[in-house]
Chains A and B, each alone.
Chain A
Amino acid sequence: MKIAVCIKRVPDTEMRFTIAADGKSVDPTGLKYEMSTFDEYAVEVALRLNEQHGPGDVTVVGLGPDGVGEILRKALSMGVDRGVHLTAPEVPFDGRVVAGALAEALTGQGYDLILFGRNATDTGAGVVGAMTAGRLGLPCVTAVSHLEIANGRGTARRELEGATETVEFPLPAVLTIDEGIARGRIPSLKGIMAAKKKPIDTREASLGAPAIVVDRLAPPPDRPPGRIVGEGPDAVPELVALLRDEAKVL
């Protein structure tokens, strides 16, 4: 199958970070980056589908500044065939603008599947996948946690709160990938060597004007200081009294 996967470069979740002097962005000094977690799952899903269904072709597409090349290269070392880097000085916060640029790069390429992450793990709220599908006029299934493809059709599972949904759809389609389906493989040494020779097509992203802008980026409001009620089971009666009388949650 011919598959595209859209991958975003995000700051490493585990890293401490500081907010830049403009009060609107993350200070890039010393920041480490990685492929957004769900996007890594999506790359793995694409690779496994082709391992399972016979040879195919997987393209990764990343939009953003220079450093995006590194995560594209990582995907190539996992086994992806080619990359497309849509260059932009920064990734706009407005998912509609990102979707517009991705759709333009993805249209008319004959992909059987276009995969996204459920949401980007930095600023994302899970809109780019479905919006890109809308632009492309393709059927879309979001937050897929299990997937089977046969005879030009797919069956996916989605985890809702307290229930599991089964969804059927025709190919070509856009899917966004959730936790539970696959974790990204670690690139082998051979994969890393091979990746150096794989093509990355670099061109400027065509970004429309955003309707959403960032006013402020700030640390979350501090939670009121908590307290240790006590040690061991003897502290339980006091905890229950506090939850009932002070916090009023029991």
Chain B
Amino acid sequence: MAAIFAFAESRDGALRKVALETVTAARRAADATGGGEVHAMVLGGPGIADAAEALGRAGADVVFTVEDAALARYSPEVAAATAAAAIADGDYRAAFFPASAEGRDLAPRVAAALDRSLLADVTEFTFEGDDVVASHPAYAGKAVATLRLSGAPALLSVRPGAVTAVEAPRTPRVEARPPALAPAEARVVVTGLVARGAARLDLAEAPVVVAGGRGLRAAEHFGLVEALADAIGDAAVGATRAVTDDGWRDPADQIGQTGRVVSPDLYIAVGISGAIQHLAGMRSSRVIVAINRDKDAPIFKVADYGIVGDLFDVVPRLTEEIRKLRAG
């Protein structure tokens, strides 16, 4: 019976949250297509094979481990060649990738190597006979396209946060594999990886995102947003383009059409008007809270809960109440 392939993303020797989401997506696909196996692949430096246990807990029956000192950092060409070789050698109904920064780089390379089409950045999928039918948000979030891909293996990348990782524990068979391209032969080489603000969860990992807009008026007032994120604990900080353009925050923090797309459990928009380009990056969040002094701001149209008021009064109070909640 055909199996399902899952690419498990890691960074700095540890699995990323999206790795478990990808395995969960693959598990779901396997169960929907007759209960075949899930084969997960993880690449990394020495020790990455230890990730097999966590991948088994997420539902992988087989884990391919590709360990090489040169793979301690992501190597796009080696990863693509190795994933493509595994997919080509096996009997796969589908292969899943995360639509994270790394996955968005990797999945089209794999598709090119296999000369197959890719359903990229999908939020939902079902299997219908020989087809996969998937949803892909388009036109700055103003529409959702339902796309149909025929044939096997079907390649898909899934938007981070669109699938919630759940456990489906098993003891996986672990199989060490060599890289399909010698790392020294790679033309494109990652020579550096520098974490920003390592103390905090990043936008792809955090279940909560607190984002600030121009309503904060100055870079130093972002301290209010940081304090709120700290009180919540597992929260990342995001920003609008107005804010990154003014240099108050790093461009990588930008959420929206030309920034990141996030789907956290909770999104708190502070002093953000809710322009269409911003909504494109956060409207699929599970719960949205908006704090804005203008009751007609468009952000309130997508918010589940809103407070109309001056953020300089509301946010410190919110931080305080959440601290109390966390303490109590």
Residues of A within 8 A of B (CB): 11, 13-14, 17, 19, 26, 37-38, 93-97, 99, 121-123, 125-127, 129-131, 133-135, 139-143, 145, 155, 158-170, 179-180, 210-221, 223-224, 226-233, 235-237, 239-240, 242-244, 247, 249-250
Q: How far is the CB of A15 from chain B (nearest CB, A)?
A: 9
> Are B194 and A37 within 8 A (Cβ)?
no
> Are A220 and B283 within 8 A (Cβ)?
yes
> Are A250 and B325 within 8 A (Cβ)?
yes
Residues of B within 8 A of A (CB): 11, 74, 76-77, 99-102, 104-105, 107-109, 111-113, 115-121, 133, 136-151, 157, 187-198, 200-205, 207-208, 232, 236, 241, 251-252, 254, 257-260, 265-266, 276-277, 283, 286-289, 295, 300-310, 313-314, 316-318, 321-322, 325
The residue from A143, A230, A237 contacting B101, defined by CB atoms under 8 A apart:
A143
Question: 5 closest Cβ contacts across the A-B interface?
Answer: A134-B112, A162-B202, A125-B120, A161-B204, A130-B108
Closest to A95 in B: B118
> Are B189 and A167 within 8 A (Cβ)?
yes
User: Across the interface, which residues of B come within 8 angstroms of A239, CB to CB?
Assistant: 289, 305, 307, 318
> Are A226 and B305 within 8 A (Cβ)?
yes
Closest to A220 in B: B144
User: Across the interface, which residues of A come within 8 angstroms of B189, CB to CB?
Assistant: 167-169
> Are A139 and B188 within 8 A (Cβ)?
yes
In the bound complex, CA of A168 to CA of B186 (Å):
10
User: Across the interface, which residues of B come within 8 angstroms of A232, CB to CB?
Assistant: 307-310, 313-314
The residue from A127, A221, A237, A244 contacting B108, defined by CB atoms under 8 A apart:
A127
> Are B142 and A165 within 8 A (Cβ)?
no
Can you show 19 pairs from A to B with CB atoms below 8 A apart? A13-B277, A127-B120, A133-B109, A139-B187, A142-B105, A143-B101, A162-B195, A164-B196, A179-B258, A211-B116, A217-B145, A218-B143, A223-B283, A227-B304, A232-B307, A236-B307, A236-B314, A243-B289, A250-B266
Count CB-based A-B contacts (< 8 Å).
274
The residue from A94, A159, A166, A243 contacting B190, defined by CB atoms under 8 A apart:
A166
Sample of 14 further A-B pairs with CB below 8 A, known A216-B145, A247-B266: A19-B143, A127-B118, A131-B111, A145-B251, A161-B205, A170-B187, A219-B144, A228-B295, A228-B307, A230-B308, A236-B321, A237-B321, A239-B318, A240-B325
In the bound complex, CA of A168 to CA of B192 (Å):
10
The residue from A93, A140, A143 contacting B188, defined by CB atoms under 8 A apart:
A140
User: Across the interface, which residues of A come within 8 angstroms of B207, CB to CB?
Assistant: 249
> Are A164 and B194 within 8 A (Cβ)?
yes
The residue from B99, B117, B197 contacting A212, defined by CB atoms under 8 A apart:
B117
User: Across the interface, which residues of A come within 8 angstroms of B308, CB to CB?
Assistant: 228, 230-232
In the bound complex, CA of A99 to CA of B148 (Å):
19
User: Across the interface, which residues of B come within 8 angstroms of A95, CB to CB?
Assistant: 108, 117-118, 120
Closest to B107 in A: A127
In the bound complex, CA of A87 to CA of B198 (Å):
48
Closest to B316 in A: A233
> Are A131 and B112 within 8 A (Cβ)?
yes
User: Across the interface, which residues of B come within 8 angstroms of A145, CB to CB?
Assistant: 251-252
In the bound complex, CA of A95 to CA of B276 (Å):
25
User: Across the interface, which residues of B come within 8 angstroms of A179, CB to CB?
Assistant: 241, 251, 254, 258-259
Q: How far is the CB of B305 from chain A (nearest CB, A)?
A: 5
The residue from A220, A236, A237 contacting B137, defined by CB atoms under 8 A apart:
A220
User: Across the interface, which residues of B come within 8 angstroms of A161, CB to CB?
Assistant: 100-101, 202-205, 252, 260
In the bound complex, CA of A241 to CA of B321 (Å):
10
In the bound complex, CA of A218 to CA of B297 (Å):
25
User: Across the interface, which residues of A come within 8 angstroms of B74, CB to CB?
Assistant: 165
User: Across the interface, which residues of A come within 8 angstroms of B149, CB to CB?
Assistant: 211-212
> Are A165 and B193 within 8 A (Cβ)?
yes
Closest to A242 in B: B305
In the bound complex, CA of A129 to CA of B105 (Å):
10
User: Across the interface, which residues of A come within 8 angstroms of B325, CB to CB?
Assistant: 240, 244, 250
> Are A11 and B139 within 8 A (Cβ)?
yes
Closest to A216 in B: B146
Closest to B306 in A: A228
> Are B142 and A211 within 8 A (Cβ)?
no
User: Across the interface, which residues of A come within 8 angstroms of B139, CB to CB?
Assistant: 11, 13, 17, 26, 122-123
User: Across the interface, which residues of B come within 8 angstroms of A94, CB to CB?
Assistant: 117
User: Across the interface, which residues of B come within 8 angstroms of A226, CB to CB?
Assistant: 288, 300-306
User: Across the interface, which residues of A come within 8 angstroms of B316, CB to CB?
Assistant: 233
In the bound complex, CA of A233 to CA of B157 (Å):
42
A123-B138, A163-B194 known; A214+B266 contact, CB < 8 A: no
In the bound complex, CA of A38 to CA of B77 (Å):
24
The residue from B108, B117, B142 contacting A17, defined by CB atoms under 8 A apart:
B142
